[in-house]
Copies of this chain bind each other. A is one copy, B any other.
Amino acid sequence: MLPFERVTILGTGLIGSSLARAIRNRMPTVRLTGYDRDAAVAARADELGLFDDMADSAGASVCDADLVVFAVPVRAIGAAAEEIAADLPRDAVVSDVGSVKASVLKAMAAAIEGPDRIVPAHPVAGTERSGPDAGFAELFENRWCILTPGAEADARNVERVSEFWRRLGSEVELMEAGHHDMVLAITSHLPHLIAYTIVGTASDIEDVTSSEVIKYSAGGFRDFTRIAASDPTMWRDVFLENKEAVLSTLQRFTEDLTQLQRAIRWDDGDFLFDRFRETRDTRRRVIDAGQDTAAPDFGRDRR
């Protein structure tokens, strides 16, 4: 039996459209309804045939749903929840895919009656693209999906949402929302902040032209440009909604960077060597855990 039969996705960008495609492939009998407040995005999702119906309003999109998923930037989830609250069927389960969880859980709970049916989710999978054309069905396969239900969530609803993600190929993990935000601050939010910073810094160095930066980017910089090409709205929202965890992680990073800086200044080669050797082990573990491939990616357009 399918965990849900009539799924509505609000926001049909990268994640919303990938979700629609994945549901189509894995649970073809599910009736899919989509809505996007950006008319051009909605039209494109329609053209791509991602949904059975594209609704004209948020309210209309949910009135028949048994699962509603918000796939909009995290700061927009509260408003989107308010928009649908009046039209939401009494027994529909409500979820999302936002990259921050504590504030989003709070925003959904404030707008929607029935805390037993709110089951926030975060698929830890994505790309640096946005919009409906960027999505693809396999995005969630072999990736983790973290659920962060509050204390009042009904265990049956949590199990249904878990089963939903497992059917899409993900491994599901339950976590307290605040802990999720701390974990993601270090594994995702800080890396993005650092990448945005370094790409900005490189554009502002007066002795080096920007065309030199581009030309010689294969030495490491290009990897940061990929991460820093991620959606500005999404990331602005992530940093503002996960402010405390991001700032405290950043503080630790700065301390560690200062220590390496000192070691360089004072020629402490042994300290540098030891630190650099430890990080190799982390890489091996990422590969062993199936979270990356071992192919040497620096030579990525190896022909």
List chain B residues, Cβ under 8 A from A184. Answer: 216, 219
List chain B residues, Cβ under 8 A from A243. Answer: 264-265, 267
Tell me if A198 is interfacial: C-beta within 8 Å of chain B. yes
Q: Are A273 and B127 in contact (CB under 8 A)?
A: no
CB closest residue in chain B, given A258: B254
Q: Which of A172-205 contact B (CB under 8 A)?
A: 173, 179, 182-184, 186-205
Partner of A299, one of B136, B264, B269, B303: B136
Tell me if A261 is interfacial: C-beta within 8 Å of chain B. yes
Q: Are B205 and A279 in contact (CB under 8 A)?
A: no
List chain B residues, Cβ under 8 A from A125. Answer: 218, 298-299
Q: Are B226 and A297 in contact (CB under 8 A)?
A: yes
Tell me if A109 is interfacial: C-beta within 8 Å of chain B. no
Tell me if A47 is interfacial: C-beta within 8 Å of chain B. no
Q: Which of A203-256 contact B (CB under 8 A)?
A: 203-205, 207-208, 210, 212-230, 232-233, 235-237, 239-240, 243, 246-247, 249-250, 252-254, 256
Q: Are B221 and A223 in contact (CB under 8 A)?
A: no
Q: Are B124 and A219 in contact (CB under 8 A)?
A: yes
Tell me if A272 is interfacial: C-beta within 8 Å of chain B. yes
CB closest residue in chain B, given A134: B296
Q: Which of A149-172 contact B (CB under 8 A)?
A: none
Partner of A220, one of B192, B222, B252: B192
List chain B residues, Cβ under 8 A from A129. Answer: 296
Report copies per complex. 2
List chain B residues, Cβ under 8 A from A128. Answer: 283, 296-298
Partner of A201, one of B200, B210, B240, B249: B249
Q: Are B279 and A218 in contact (CB under 8 A)?
A: no
Best-surrounded residue of A124, A186, A195, A223 (most CB of chain B within 10 A)? A186
How many angstroms from the CA of A94 to the CA of B136 in the assembled complex? Answer: 51
Query: Mind listing 23 A-B residue pairs with CB under 8 Å?
Result: A124-B218, A125-B298, A127-B298, A128-B283, A128-B296, A173-B215, A184-B219, A186-B202, A186-B205, A186-B208, A193-B257, A197-B257, A201-B249, A203-B278, A205-B252, A214-B286, A215-B291, A222-B291, A223-B227, A225-B292, A226-B292, A228-B276, A297-B300
List A residues at the B interface (Cβ < 8 Å).
99, 124-129, 134, 136, 138-139, 141-144, 146, 173, 179, 182-184, 186-205, 207-208, 210, 212-230, 232-233, 235-237, 239-240, 243, 246-247, 249-250, 252-254, 256-257, 260-261, 264-265, 267, 269, 272-273, 275-280, 282-286, 289, 291-293, 296-303
